[in-house]
């Protein structure tokens, strides 16, 4: 998208690290050579680690939805902040055992996910990255990426943080301004929000003729769920097949590519804000009071 292209001003900003990006402008970790990785770490660039999952997203969206959307947001963010961030190849698989009644879901265990995430952070810390931002694209990974970030801090001494991309600063306001689906539940899973993003990223893979509105997760007094409006205080997850007939939770019939472009822009901008906030944070001064 045009907003991702580098302006002349961005180029000048990049000039503060003249060794780095003047020639390549590369922001994908996997496309760097090892000397470039070393330079990126020494320049204090933030390592952005996308993490998602593979699971059913209704009859109209591919099972890679969480992964593709999260990658797109992180790629766009790192592209905009290419002088101060790199995007690491994503952790593709996540915690989705409650989705296994639907064909397609690939779930890894909670401990596997935590160990995997911490190992990735440990490797990045070993190469000299001092700031790591884990960007999650799958709701049920949330408690685990929190733990991954905490463990990475404890075990490596670097600053690791985690965020769900839909909770990045600015996204909620944009999503609520665009929302035509139900205030609670309309933006949840394979919904107005995710379908709009997919339409903006790869419309040829979306079959809107099969999009259906489904709001059957049975909210009660303290239990409800919505990606953007937030969840109720009672946190629980029943088998997805008990919550949805189609795999959809929300209203994808209200999705448009135009909304998706606005959401992608907001999410990428929000991640850039977090990259800069992390970069600006001074190293923690630990003091042992024994």
| 68 vs 80, beta carbon nearer Zn ion | 68
Residues 157-176 that bind Zn ion (CB under 5 A): none
User: Which residue, 163, 164, 158, is CA-closest to 41?
Assistant: 158
Largest CA distance in the chain: 65
The residue with tokens 């209200």 is 254
Site string for Zn ion, 16-55 (x = CB under 5 A): ----------------------------------------
Residue 46 CB, nearest distance to Zn ion (Å)?
25
| 65 vs 225, beta carbon nearer Zn ion | 65
Residue 20 CB, nearest distance to Zn ion (Å)?
34
Report angle CA 28, 95, 274 to the nearest 5 degrees. 40
Residue 166 CB, nearest distance to Zn ion (Å)?
10
Q: Which residues of 77-86 are buried (b: 16+ CB within 10 A; e: fewer)?
A: bbbbbbbbbb
Distance in angstroms (rounded) separating the CA atoms of residues 49 and 168: 15
| 105 vs 125, beta carbon nearer Zn ion | 105
| 21 vs 141, beta carbon nearer Zn ion | 141
- CB closest to Zn ion, residue no: 66
User: Which residue, 107, 64, 260, 120, is CA-closest to 133?
Assistant: 120
Is the CB of residue 74 less than 8 Å from the CB of residue 15? no
Residues 196-255 that bind Zn ion (CB under 5 A): none
| 156 vs 195, beta carbon nearer Zn ion | 195
| 14 vs 250, beta carbon nearer Zn ion | 250
Residue 142 CB, nearest distance to Zn ion (Å)?
12
Residue 180 CB, nearest distance to Zn ion (Å)?
19
Q: Edge to edge, what strands does the sheet with 159-164 contain? A: 85-87, 46-51, 131-136, 159-164
Please work out the total of residues on this chain that contact Zn ion, with binding judged by CB under 5 A: 2
Phi/psi at 220 (5° precision): -125, -170
Residue 86 CB, nearest distance to Zn ion (Å)?
25
Site string for Zn ion, 52-91 (x = CB under 5 A): -------------xx-------------------------
Report how far apart, in Å, the C-alpha atoms of 61 and of each of 22, 131, 181, 212 are: 39, 34, 18, 11
| 66 vs 251, beta carbon nearer Zn ion | 66
- Alpha helices by DSSP H, listed for the chain, are 8-14, 34-42, 65-80, 110-126, 142-156, 171-178, 192-201, 240-243, 257-280
Residue 290 CB, nearest distance to Zn ion (Å)?
46
Binding footprint of Zn ion on the chain (CB under 5 A): 65-66
């Amino acid at each position: 998208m045009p907003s991702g292209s580098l302006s002349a001003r961005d180029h000048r900003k990049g000039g503060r690290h003249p060794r780095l990006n003047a020639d390549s402008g590369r922001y994908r970790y996997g496309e760097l050579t090892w000397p470039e990785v070393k330079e990126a770490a020494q320049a204090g660039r933030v390592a952005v680690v996308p993490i998602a999952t593979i699971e059913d997203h209704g009859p109209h969206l591919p099972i890679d939805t969480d992964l593709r959307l999260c990658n797109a947001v992180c790629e766009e963010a790192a592209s905009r902040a290419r002088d101060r961030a790199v995007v690491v190849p994503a952790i593709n698989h996540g915690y989705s055992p409650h989705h296994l009644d639907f064909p397609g879901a690939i779930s890894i265990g909670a401990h596997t996910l935590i160990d995997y995430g911490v190992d990735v952070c440990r490797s990045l810390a070993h190469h000299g990255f001092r700031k790591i931002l884990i960007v999650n694209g799958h709701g049920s990974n949330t408690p685990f990426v929190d733990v991954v970030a905490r463990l990475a801090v404890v075990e490596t001494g670097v600053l690791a943080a985690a965020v769900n991309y839909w909770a990045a600063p600015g996204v909620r306001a944009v999503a609520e301004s665009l929302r035509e689906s139900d205030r609670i539940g309309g933006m949840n899973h394979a919904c107005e929000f995710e379908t709009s993003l997919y339409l903006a990223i790869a419309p040829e893979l979306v079959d809107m003729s099969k999009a259906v509105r489904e709001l059957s997760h049975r909210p009660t007094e303290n239990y409800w769920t919505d990606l953007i409006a937030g969840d109720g205080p009672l946190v629980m997850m029943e088998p997805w097949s008990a919550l949805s007939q189609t795999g959809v939770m929300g209203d994808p019939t209200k999705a448009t590519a135009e909304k998706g472009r606005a959401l992608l822009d907001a999410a990428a901008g929000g991640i850039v804000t977090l990259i800069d906030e992390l970069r600006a944070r001074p190293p923690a001064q630990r003091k042992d009071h024994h």
